[in-house]
Structure formats: structure tokens, C-alpha cells
Chain A
Amino acid sequence: MPGLGASFGRGGATTYLQDLSNADCILIQGSNMAEAHPVGFQWVVEAQRRGATVIHVDPRFTRTSALADLHVPIRAGTDIAFLGGLINHVLSNDLDFREYVAAYTNAANVISPHFQDTEDLDGLFSGFDPDTGHYDPVSWHYEPPENPTEDEKARMKEMEEDESEGSKDKQSHQAAHSEAHGSGGAPVSWKGLRDETLQHPNCVYQILKRHYRRYTPEMVERVCGITPQQFLQVAEALTSNSGRERTSAICYAVGWTHHSVGAQMIRTAAILQSLLGNIGRPGGGIMALRGHASIQGSTDIPTLFNILPGYIPMPHADQHQSLDEWVGDDEGKAGFWGNIRPYAVSLLKSYWGDAATPENDFCFDYLPRLTGDHSSYTTVKAMIEGRCKGYFLVGENPAVGSANGKMQRLGLANLDWLVVRDMQMIESATFWQDGPEIETGELATDDIGTEIFFLPAASHIEKAGSFTQTQRMLQWRDQALRPPADCRSELWFYVELGNRIRAKLAGSDDERDRPLLDLAWDYPYDDSAEPDSEQVLREINGTGPGDKALSAYTELKADGSTACGCWIYCGVYADEVNQARRRTPHWEQDQVAAEWGWVWPANRRILYNRASADPEGKPWSERKRYLWWDPDEGKWTGPDVPDFVPDREPGHVPESGAKGPDAIGGSDPFVMQTDGKAWLFAPLGVADGPLPTHYEPPESPVSNALYAQQKNPGRRILEQAANPINPTGSEVFPFVFTSYRLTEHHTAGGMSRTLPYLSELQPEPFCEVSPRLARERGLEHGGWATVVTARSAIEVRVLVSDRIRSLRLGDRWVEQVGLPYHWGGNGLTTGDSQNDLVNIQMDPNVYIQDKVGTCDIRPGRRPRGPALTSYVEEYRRRAGIAAQEAPDTEATSEEEN
């Protein structure tokens, strides 16, 4: 979550669900929380009972809207224009929480005179290279401090060289790096020159004002279809419920993340919340609502290409060929991320144990290096092109759940071997038998050479282990039953696979096998013939010196005397106790409930909670009291664990040249940021610009009303024959579609379409259309409709409803089609997959595509067999989309803006 990471220093929800009940106003946008996170939604209802105003901004009137005080319909994909409008409202009316903003954000920082805004360049920032589609962020930097230290002088010289010579290598790494701000902000060179009066024309505050000046209520209406009256209602609710005495919270989900500007949508919310003084305070914050049981966990301990456990970046071949180079970008910078060396060395020790020594850089060279984007969609393209031949699918069903299902299946059909681990026969395992391309004749079973191993998985009650849920909390599950027959946990599978590979390679003197043979890989089995997962949790927690479990990441050493599998999880096994297994009932605790499960970092519930007190350490108000400085005890105190150096005085000014945690000032609450501040302006760390800017989605019915630049200039394009894009303003594809979840189903359906109860509750895929669109296209409620894009056509049942509004944009109407995405060909309830319609153009920070696109919709069922292919081909011809060759280039920027 680089949107949050780049703004505050950690890529996780800043608060916890129960704390929503302390909010005076809650804005839910990019989320249908009541439907997708129903049990978490009880805390929103709780807040409402206590008098809070609940606002839902969403294209559809949903279960969430039904319980909200205000529902504001919005055109899908235009959230930055709306939130930017709110920022403009706050700034032009002086409604920001000025003392908070001045003290805790980078509003006062002066930015380089070379910086040019999108207002100057009609939708581009300075530093854009149209050939690569990358930004060089060098002109976005903080102006150096007035009296630079020797260190800072050296960095100034480096920066001047970068500016004159360009820094292509750094740029290419920049994008892959942005996710590495999950727990440690981007490393700025200095805290920089500040103008505390906020009057300097190039200070962040003034730049922000100019950047959003044209995001007026009238512009919001033109872009989003929201009337000025509705806009002002939201603006007034938020601003009157923020400040010293009151706080507002924002909740979002994949309605923000699934866009080619997803990270920037979240950044916009981060800026708004920082201006309103709502971060680090009870009832405030940004609640990221994540969609899988351990999606936070699988980012913290990543199965992601660009990071290692604890958001330590994977080394990049251009810059990191030694341990020193690898940690050098961040080491010594102010804040806790400046201590990256002990975190990284301890990880290498937990990977390679005794083989990792100071003499061999702790086996740094065993780490494979990145050279660019190796993300999922890029890898699928490599599969289609024969450059990737072996694939493990582990509890994921990309043939239904990933964008552009056809590309997914073409990739699967071109492998040497595929391992599918699941509980049910999912579509990604049966594409060769009955996939949509078999039906159309694009693929034939006999021609598909993919060898497939389907290995049945253990269910959540048949194995012990921990999930990390949406508020960064690890909760342990005990094992209730042994898995049946051949079913096994993933823990068993990977331990066993590792054991067998290592046994087969034993005795090899090939240098490339050393990392496998030297791997610390000794995992004993417990009574149920499964590996002991608590031992793995203990390895993650970290041990040493000797074999003692560590209590906190501050104990980690860079000399190899400690090992730690994930530094941010250090403490989860403190005192040799599985802290994630704690189950003290809530009625025996206060609301913070510190004795239930374990939350990273260091069991803190509200992040950056130093900001709940004023610069002098006193609560901003009695009503919003949370953490405060106790001068008698000389420490921070309150119901939560302080997210701060526990005994650092409020007025503390670090010595010149101080490094790491020592360099954190007494009033710098954002301890993972190298300058201790919340970033209104991101001088580094966001690939597509320092400030969020409205661009139209890759497929849009309208032109960008704000700039000549139509789409996110930094977005990544995936050129592939199966991934054509509908042209802007196409009359052939005149409508907007957006996809979403239903309470009764789960993601790609493997865990819900196979269950009788859930299949009965939601038995069929459907689309939601407005009565106006139904009239225009002759769609009948309960009848069939065919929805078409340049990728494919699917058939669904029609639901005609006022829940989905026709939007007025200036002189024209825009119609939206809502499509739940859970279906596929297998299971108890079946239907066409909505993801077959979706295109792939990606956010350059996280390589996630837009879930919004344009489409046509017609009454009746779709053509069958080969007729479907020609039906879609005819649409492409009419829309003027040329049949694409498949060039063998990596993702590049598109010429068309």
C-alpha cells in the first residue's frame, strides 16, 4: 500500500476497526463496507449510534448507502477529482487544522525551484520521460537546509550530479521500490529548508493550494457527476467534524486500489486527513479494508516479487551488488527505517543460518536480483510468450479472479507444468477441459501441453497458523482436525518440496545450488504429521544471541548474532509465548484490547499516536485524549503502546548529524519517515507524481476536463494481442462498467460457489443498470443481457434498479453498468466471468489494473462457440481497434495520451 506508505511511513491501516466507533464523521468511499466487510461495519453503526455522520460516496446505492446518513453517487474512477475538490475546499477556506499541519506535516518544506506542477505542464509534472513513461523525481526534492552538515553537503553534490546527468538507473528502480515503503518511508536526503509561516511560494502548502485550485465544486460536478450541493454537504460534514475536539475517519477498499491511479487515490485521502489533523488520533485515521483473511500478512511477509519480509526491498541488479549497496539507500537516515542493516542481516541469518557470515556479506549474493517489473501480469505475458514455464497456483484462481481472463488462460495453456493447490476443482485447473477458449475453438485440449498436478489443500481448521487481518493484527488458529486423505497444508507442501529438492541436489558442486543447499531448512513435524507452525512463527519472530526468542526489533544486531524472519513481526513470540494466540475476552479489557492477538508494530493499535498530543505533549483536547507526555515519569503514556521513542521529550531537538532513531525530533510523530512528517507532497517514493492528479481511467467515455493529459502518463501498458483497449469517447463502447463483491460470495468463488448455502443465496451472475439505460437498450428486468468490451463478451441476468444512477456530466448523461465478479464455469452456481471483460493497464507503483472500463450492453444471450470470437472482432472493427501484433517488449508507456 504505497499510498499510505509514502504518506506516513507504513503501508497499513493507521487505525483499528473498533476505533471507528470514536469517530464523529466517517467517509466510506471505494468500499461497500456493509456488504464486503459486514462484521467490521458494526463499528460504523456504533459510531452512528453515538451521533456520528456516515457518508457513502459510491457509483451504486448499496447496503452501505442504505445505512449511511448521506449517499453521494459518483462516476466510477473519478475519486481523485472529488477528494481533490475537498482539499481545495479546505485550503481555500482556511479550514485545515493549522497547528497540526504546521507541526506534523511537510507543509512548511520548500521544494526545489526546478519543480513544475501539472498546472504548468497541462497534466504532467517536471521530470517525465515520454520514451520510458517514467518520472525522474530529482526536481521534486526538498530544498537543502540552511546550514547543511558534511553528510548533507555530500548528498547535495550527488543530487547535482543526478540532475545534470539524469539518473535512469534510479528511476527504473523507483517504481519497483515504491511498495517497499510498507514499513519505512522513502529516504529523503535531509529534513530540508522549512518556512513555518507557510508563505514561501514554493513551500508545500502553497504548491498544494495552486495544484488543487481548479478542483472547484463546479469542476467536481463536471467530472464526477456530483452536484455542488451534495459536494458541500460532504465538505461541511468532514470539516465541521475535524479539528481539536472532533475527528473523522475514512474507510476504503479495492474501489480505490483497483485503478491505474490507485495509489494516488489513497494518497489524496492521506493528504485530506493530514490537513484535517485526523491521523494518529482516536476516531480518525484511514482504515484500509482488505479483502482476504491474510492479505495484509502476505504483504508483510510477502509473496510479492519486489519485497522481502518486513518490506525490505529485493535487491536490484543495477544498484545492489553487495550488502552495503543494498542497505545503503536507507541506512543512517533519520527514523527507525534508518536501522535497516540489522533488519536485513537478521533476515539473511534466518534464511542461511550458519552459512551467513560477516566475511561473505551474510550470503547477500544468494539473493536473486530484480531488473524491473516481474509482477503477475507481466509474468502472464511471459508465459504466453514462452519465457516462463513452471507455475504454482496456491489458493488463487486467476482464470476467474485476475483481469483479462483470456490472457490468464492463454498463459496457463503454454506452460510445461502447473501445480494447483486448492480445496476445489477451480477454473484455473480445468481450463484445458472446459474453459471459454475450448468452447470458442481458440484452444484445443489435445494441443495443450501443460502437465497439471492438482494437490488438495487443508482447510483453515485443519492446520494451525496465523492470519494478519486488516488492522495489522495477527490472530492464531489452532488445529481442530487432521486434513483428510491427500489434503495437506501449504506448510507441509513447501517443507516437503524443499526437502526433496535439497536431497536431489545433495553433493552438487554447482555454485547455483549453494543457496538451496546452505538454506536453514530443518522443520520438524508435529503429532499430526504436519510441520510445527509455531516453530516457524518463532523463526519469524527472531532469536539470539544464543537461541532466545527476541522481544522487539530494537534488539536486532547487524553483526550476525541475531536472526529474524520478519523484523516488523519481532515480538510476536516474545518471552517464548505465541502472542498471536492470546484470547482475553473483550469484556475483560478496555477498547484497545491489547491482550487479544498481537498487532505489528510492537502491538500498537493506532499508528503515529504521538500526533494525538500537541507539540508540547498535551492532548489536543480532553475529548480526543489518547497519548500524552508524563513529565513526572519522563515518558509517553496512554491506553495504547506509544508509537514513538518511549522517553523522548516533546521539545527534543536531535543533535546535528544524529542518525536513525536518534534523529527523531520530540515533535516528529511519523517515526518511519526520514523527516518525521506526514507527506502532503511526496518528494520521493511515488512513481507517478508527488501530488495526486485527476486522470481519466484507461477506458473512459469522456475527455479529461482538467488537463490535456487524458490518462495517467506513468501507467504501465501491457501490449498483448489479447489485451486491446477501447478508445476514449468511443460510441461503440459508450457505457462505464465497474465490478464489485457480494456478501454471499468470495473473490473468484472457489470458496463460495462450491458451498450449497452461499450458492443458494446468490445463485447467478447479474448486472445492475438504471431504468434509463434499460429503456435506451431495451433491457428487461430478469432477462438476459450481453456485455461487450474489446476483450470479450459475457452474458448475465439484468437487474433494473434505481440503485444505480444515471449521472449528469455537463451537457451529457453517463450510464454505468455494475457487475459482480465472482462467477466462472465450475461449482454449484456457474456463469460467465466478469474479469474476461477487464483490460490490463497498471498503476506504476503497484502494478494493479483498473477495474473500471467502457462497454456496450445489449439484450439477449451472447453468441456461442466460434460465433463469440467473431462477434467481439466485429465490435473491435467498428471501434477502430486494429488487430494487434504482439511485440516482444516489456510494459512501456503508450504514445496516446
Chain B
Amino acid sequence: MALTSRIGDWSLLRQLRGRDSLGRGEAARSERSRTLRPRTVGADRVVDSICPYCAVGCAQKVYVKDERVVQIEGSPASPISRGRLCPKGSASKQLVTSPTRVTRVRYRRPHGSEWEDLDLDTAMDMIADRVIRTRREFWEWESEGRRTRRTLGIASLGGATLDNEENYLMKKLYTAMGAISIENQARI
């Protein structure tokens, strides 16, 4: 920047020359604030979503740039939330970008003292084997002479943070497995 323009941009001069004689507005504004743009402006796309915390169901707008989330804001169009988000909803970008988020499969062998790496495909195969084994081991055709066709050896907990479609497939698969100890947060 040329020296003259830097002097011309000096806030004291702007305060003396301009209308903002108290220096609490335009005169105090820095180059940085002048060029600041909201993160939302440069987004490649804006995607409609819903806040994942409580059950009010506030609508969110997710701003994505370069395949990364840059901002999550309340959607003004929602008749329920009218654009508002609480501290949790406002912080929900960090749910996605949290530095402590785990993104790789972790495995702890029986009696092990450390986590180990495991390939996702191998993990899925091992889990399927264990379901089949435990189902056989704890299978029950009858209880006190009444047909039950089930296993009490496998249980599941969770669902209230998940989607309807996910809960639907969970219950469908578990029911076909004969597992009935299926529960979620509605119970606690």
C-alpha cells in the first residue's frame, strides 16, 4: 500500500475529517473489518437440515465449501423455530468438526489393555459372526411350554438420536433375528 493512502486511512485523520467525530463508528473501522465477509457468503451450497439435539426440531441451514462444513445457522423459514437456535444448535458445526471425533474403527480384544486398529470390512464380518453365534447359543423355542421363538442373548440400546428410517431397519432386523431386548432413550 502506498504511504499516502496509508496515511489517508489513518483512523485519527478519518475521525477529524469525517462525520464520525467521536470515533465510535466509521472512523474506527479497520481494513480487516471492512473486508470481513460472513462464512456463509462463499459457500458452494446450502443444505436444509434439522438440529440433532432436543425435540423442538429447529430447522438448520448447513453451509458447505470445498466439501467441508463452514457454518450451520438457524433457518428463518421454519414455523417452529423461526430462525433461532440455542447454544447447542449454534455449536453443532463442532459435532462434525470436533478434533476428538473418532473416524476409524477401534477394537478391544477380550482382556486387552489397549485399543487396536481394525479394518471396517473385517469388523462387520466379525460382528455378523458373533450375532450368529450368540443367537444360536441363547436360542429359545419355548418358555414354560409356550412358543417364544426368540433369543434373550442379544440386546440393543439407542434410537432417539437416530432417524426414523434407521429405527425402522433396526427393529425389522432384530425382530427377524428373534432379539426382543431392544430399547432406547424413551426408557431412561
Contact = CB atoms under 8 A, between A and B. Distances in A.
B172 interface: yes
A478 B179 CA distance: 31
B3 interface: no
Interface stretch (A54-62, A65-73, A612-620, A748-756): A748-756
A434 B120 CA distance: 25
Nearest to B104: A486
B81 A480 contact: no
Contacts of B149: 365-369, 512
B164 A467 contact: yes
A490 B163 CA distance: 9
Contacts of B78: 586, 596
Q: Which of B106, B139, B144, B151 has the most CB of A within 10 A?
A: B106
A291 B51 CA distance: 12
Q: Ordered nearest first, which 6 A-B pairs have the shortest CB separation?
A: A469-B57, A465-B163, A368-B150, A303-B159, A394-B158, A292-B160
Contacts of A754: 98, 100-101
B128 A501 contact: yes
A395 interface: yes
Interface residues of B, number: 115
A565 to B, nearest CB: 6
B82 A586 contact: yes
B158 A396 contact: yes
Contact of B167 (A298, A382, A475): A298
Given A40-B80, A478-B48, A536 B55 contact: no
B169 interface: yes
A293 B53 contact: yes
B91 A758 contact: yes
B175 to A, nearest CB: 6
A308 B152 contact: no
Interface string B86-103: 111111101110101111
A653 to B, nearest CB: 39
A321 B123 contact: no
Nearest to A297: B164
B134 interface: yes
B22 interface: no
Given A297-B164, A396-B184, A497-B173, 9 more contacts: A292-B54, A309-B168, A366-B175, A383-B155, A432-B108, A454-B105, A516-B177, A752-B88, A755-B98
Q: Which of A478, A589, A828 has the most CB of B within 10 A?
A: A478
B143 interface: yes
A368 B159 contact: no
Contact of A398 (B51, B76, B157): B157
B177 to A, nearest CB: 6
29 contacts: A17-B56, A37-B55, A291-B160, A293-B50, A303-B170, A308-B171, A366-B176, A379-B155, A379-B183, A390-B131, A390-B155, A446-B111, A453-B105, A453-B106, A453-B107, A454-B107, A470-B54, A480-B69, A481-B64, A481-B96, A494-B169, A504-B132, A533-B165, A566-B168, A583-B48, A744-B87, A752-B88, A757-B94, A849-B188
Contact of A303 (B106, B125, B137, B156): B156
A108 B188 CA distance: 37
Interface in A248-296: 289-296
Q: Which of A421, A469, A584, A756 has the most CB of B within 10 A?
A: A469
Contacts of B88: 743-746, 751-752, 758
Q: Is the interface of B mostly helix, strand, loop or mixed?
A: mixed
A459 interface: yes
B180 interface: yes
Interface residues of A, number: 166
Contact of A480 (B64, B90, B172, B179): B64
Contacts of B31: none
Contacts of A296: 55
Nearest to A565: B168
Nearest to A460: B52
A564 to B, nearest CB: 11
A423 B95 contact: yes
Contacts of B167: 294, 297-298, 301-303
Contacts of B155: 379, 383, 388, 390-392
B155 to A, nearest CB: 5
A396 B185 contact: yes
Contact of B158 (A300, A393, A465, A496): A393
Nearest to A321: B147
A293 B57 contact: yes
Given A298-B185, A388-B153, A490 B106 contact: no
Interface in A470-524: 470-471, 473-482, 484-491, 494-498, 500-501, 504-505, 512, 515-516, 519, 521, 523
Contacts of B12: none
Contact of A295 (B95, B171, B185): B185
B169 A375 contact: no
